[in-house]
Amino acid sequence: MHDHSLRDQIVAEVHARPFQKLHAPLALSHKAILYDGATEHEVNRAVRQLAADWQLPAPEQDEGFFFTRNARHALRFEPHSEFYSLTLYALETLAIPHWGETERAALPGAYLCGVEVVCQPVVETEAALEALLTEHFGDHQVSGSSVMGAAGRVYTDFRERPDSRMSRVLVLQHPKMIEYRCGRLLQRVCEIETYRHMALLGLPLSAEVMPEVTRLDQSLAETVASIAEARQEPAELVHQLMQQAARVEDLSARSANRLAASEAYFALLYSRIEELREERLEGIQTIEQFMDRRLDPARRTCRTTGERVERLSKRIARSTDLIRSQVDLSIEGQNKNLLEGLNKRARRQIRMQAKLESFTVIVVTYYAFDLIDRTLRNLLGDTELERQLSLGLSLLVPLLAVGLFWYLRRLLKGYDDE
């Protein structure tokens, strides 16, 4: 017995991206960046160089996920299939870490979204809480809740700040929240913001695809009506269906992967929200309520677009089967007419043969009479007996004709029925 080649990778996958031990006070800046043509090797090299520039300890592995920290800062790098995320922590301070232009320019890919999180101990009074909310969110409407069994509170307005181009989240940590729970909470907050934006990447595509789907739907309805009313030749209808099928396949190729990915990101988003285990605070809508109200229509739009493209493809397939059935019926009708024509010609031939039977009997009777007569002459010569037999043979000609006629009819018996 030997170890499977992928055993070590599978065993390590369970602990591949662990939560960190974190506690208030701290602040972090989280970014999600699409690869946008950049290779994983380029991203790994740039991120590890960034960690070195910030004087953080070098990661143990050369590629993939890592978390590194020193006394003042920490950096978490997490690669995904189509984007990677960077989280920069400022430890033991509430000052949000700043990404300079040098760091921005050094990172490959296209910036998608980011979130700033300020994590501090819970305040004791409502006045202090109001002051904090005003400081971070101004007069904007705030969503928030008590999370993880009242071990902490989360507040946000989901608005992007013009200076940092990131949204802001305030996390208040109760003393009973242990460090690992704090690390899980902060990670979930970052993932909610990331997956929210990744899920919405399918919405502009849905808005682009939906009008074309509507036009194809109407065009297909007209084609089906033409099939039902036989307004066009089957060849023209098949050509139209082929063109429509090609356009639907093009739409599917452009949108299927993105819409399926959006649905997966929506599922991850709501999974992360559920893991917060929110409890409602008086007078404030929860994060889940905000997402249900603002994102559920987008999710339904993306899902409906994908379903409409799929249904349209199935309708074209059914219409193709319909026109194929129509063509098959037409071919069967032509074959039926062809067989009927062959039967008519066969019956005419039989009738013609029956009419020619009388001539056949006459000819055969003539040759039989001539053969017998010549035989008698050769055998008997020119005698009285030969003349009498010839006379008798002449009288027997009608009987000979009737016998031949009966024999031919017996041979052809049954052919008329067939």
Confidence label for 245 from pLDDT (cuts 50, 70 and 90): confident
Sheet holding 83-91, edge to edge: 66-69, 73-79, 83-91, 26-34, 110-121, 167-173, 152-156, 143-147, 279-280
Whether the pLDDT of residue 353 is over 60: the answer is yes
Cβ atoms of 42 and 84 within 8 Å: the answer is no
* Residue 240 or residue 382, greater confidence: 240
Please name the amino acid found at residue 304. Answer: T
d(CA 402, CA 373): 19
Confidence label for 273 from pLDDT (cuts 50, 70 and 90): very high
d(CA 341, CA 335): 10
Question: Both tokens of residue 236?
Answer: 């023209």
Nearest to 276 by CA among 265, 263, 289: 289
pLDDT, average across residues 99-128: 92
Number of H helices, E strands in the chain: 10, 9
pLDDT, average across residues 284-297: 92
* Total residue count of the chain as it appears in this document: 418
Whether the pLDDT of residue 323 is over 80: the answer is no
**b/e string for 94-123 if b means 16 or more Cβ within 10 A?**
eebbebeeebeeebbbeebbbbbbbbeebe
Q: Give CA 206 to chain center in angstroms.
A: 14
d(CA 138, CA 159): 11
Nearest to 27 by CA among 76, 97, 74, 86: 97
Confidence label for 358 from pLDDT (cuts 50, 70 and 90): low
Confidence label for 7 from pLDDT (cuts 50, 70 and 90): low
* Residue 387 or residue 77, greater confidence: 77
pLDDT, average across residues 32-39: 94
Pairing of strands 110-121, 143-147: unpaired
Whether the pLDDT of residue 301 is over 60: the answer is yes
Nearest to 188 by CA among 87, 96, 84, 264: 87
Whether the pLDDT of residue 350 is over 80: the answer is no
Backbone phi, psi, residue 388, to 5°: -70, -40
pLDDT, residue 281, reads 92
Confidence label for 15 from pLDDT (cuts 50, 70 and 90): low
pLDDT, residue 415, reads 57
Q: What is the mean pLDDT of the chain?
A: 86
Span 192-229, pLDDT tens digits? 999 999 999 999 999 999 999 889 888 888 877 877 76
Whether the pLDDT of residue 89 is over 90: the answer is yes
H or E segment and range at residue 30 = strand 26-34
Nearest to 78 by CA among 70, 86, 69: 86
pLDDT, average across residues 7-30: 77
pLDDT, average across residues 137-154: 93
**Beta-ladder partners of 114:** 31
pLDDT, residue 389, reads 73
388 Cβ neighbours under 8 A, 6+ residues apart = none
Q: Which residue has the tokens 């992007």?
A: 160
Question: Both tokens of residue 241?
Answer: 């269906």
Q: Which residue has the tokens 């889940």?
A: 288
170 Cβ neighbours under 8 A, 6+ residues apart = 117, 118, 120, 132, 133, 136, 137, 154, 155, 156
pLDDT, residue 45, reads 93
pLDDT, residue 355, reads 66
pLDDT, average across residues 407-414: 69
Confidence label for 356 from pLDDT (cuts 50, 70 and 90): low
pLDDT, residue 99, reads 87
- Largest CA-CA distance found in the chain, in angstroms, rounded: 159
Cβ atoms of 120 and 24 within 8 Å: the answer is yes
pLDDT, average across residues 258-284: 93
Confidence label for 417 from pLDDT (cuts 50, 70 and 90): low
